Amino acid sequence: MREQQVLSPRDNYIELDKYLQAAGATHIFLVCGSSIRSLALEGYFQTLARRTGIQVTRFSGFQPNPDYESVMVGNDRLRLNECDLIAAVGGGSARHRRGEMHQEPCWKPGASAGHSNHGGERQ
């Protein structure tokens, strides 16, 4: 598994656009919780497809310290939506879920929390 890269927010996340494009991402599986609403990342992911053509499927169907069944639900949605990159925004549960699915590459913000009001639906 490749080492995770931490990007710091600046210039409206332009470095993240560049990273995702360089990684060849076409469809991101965004694992996040409700606190993303208070972050600039909310708008970033909502406009990503329009700006770059990269589609986003949000997944919030997890609980703190997710169990195996919860992880498998996320894994099924990831495969169903044919996502090729996982982005985990939030605390330990979001990043833990990403790690359990063993999908790379992954981006995680340095000091952010996450949100979603979708259970694995495309934006």
Determine which helix (DSSP H) or strand (DSSP E) holds 121, and give its type and residue range: strand 119-122
Can you give the pLDDT at residue 29?
Answer: 95
Are β-strands 55-59 and 119-122 bridged in parallel, bridged antiparallel, or unpaired?
antiparallel
Q: What spatial distance separates the first Cα and last Cα of the chain, rounded to whole Å? A: 28
Q: Which domains does the chain have, with CATH numbers?
A: 5-122 (3.40.50.1970)
pLDDT per residue, tens digit, the chain (123 aa), is 667 667 766 767 888 898 899 999 999 999 988 888 888 889 999 999 999 999 999 998 877 777 888 888 889 999 999 999 998 887 655 555 455 444 444 444 433 333 333 344 445
